[in-house]
Amino acid sequence: MAQGALITLEIKELIAQIHLAHPDYGPTGLRRELLERMKEIGLDQNFGPDWPGVSAVGKVLANIRANLARRSPETKGIDALWSIGSLAQYPIPPEALLMVLRVSVEPTDIPVRVANWRARMDKDHEIFNFTIRDALWAARLYKLFTDPQDIWDFAAWCSVQERIQEATGQATDFPYIHRALLKKLGLSPSTDEKGGRK
């Protein structure tokens, strides 16, 4: 029996993202959404319009559900809504608190990259959901910018990516977020014409 192409990490992350937004979807419903997303971003051109199949999606989904079930209670808890009361269990540095409060106000200008993820992650909710995970990321990043919107941009992006990587069982690593952060801060390393460092 011939096998299809191996499911790439990028596709696994899309499956995880869809599952996190729609935990009630089974393999068939999730695959339907996956094929739509792949078409939106042009991945169907690489693999064809009907790949991956329901069985392949079901196997990835089973692994994602197993990874999520193995999370510690503390890790599961950080996806709850954040409030000042959360500080008792999930402390943040006192010097970061003012900025976290400012970031927790509903943002008005979320960049497209984060807006697309968050809109899909939270599309069934009409309110802005600022989670404990978001607050922790905002606290980690608060000294980098003075504008709460800039902090939210990166905190939300990291938060979503961290959830996806937990679901897929990857080590937390955000190379493209890291590069975008360096660029935003004006710290991008110089590269030569071939893309190597000078």
Digit-coded pLDDT (tens) for 120-152: 444 444 445 789 999 999 999 999 998 888 898
Q: How does pLDDT run across 37-50, given as a tens digit for each residue?
A: 888 888 777 777 78
pLDDT computed for residue 45 by the predictor = 78
Which pLDDT score, from 0 to 100, does residue 190 have? 56
CA distances from 198 to 65, 147, 191 (A): 44, 32, 5
**Stretch 25-48: mean pLDDT, rounded?**
87
pTM: 0.72
Supply the Cα-derived Rg of the chain in whole angstroms. 18
Residue type, 141: L
Query: Which has more pLDDT, 109 or 41?
Result: 41
What tens digit of pLDDT does each residue of 160-188 get?
A: 888 888 888 887 677 778 888 888 888 86
In this structure, are residues 122 and 163 in contact, taking their beta carbons and an 8 Å threshold?
A: no
The residue ranges of every structural domain in the chain are 9-69, 73-184
Percentage above 90 pLDDT, the chain: 30
Predicted confidence (pLDDT) at residue 1 exceeds the cutoff of 60: no
**Hey, what are 174's tokens?**
């955000």
* pLDDT for position 175: 77
Q: Is the pLDDT confidence value at 35 over 50?
A: yes
Residue among 194, 195, 92 nearest 151 (CA): 92
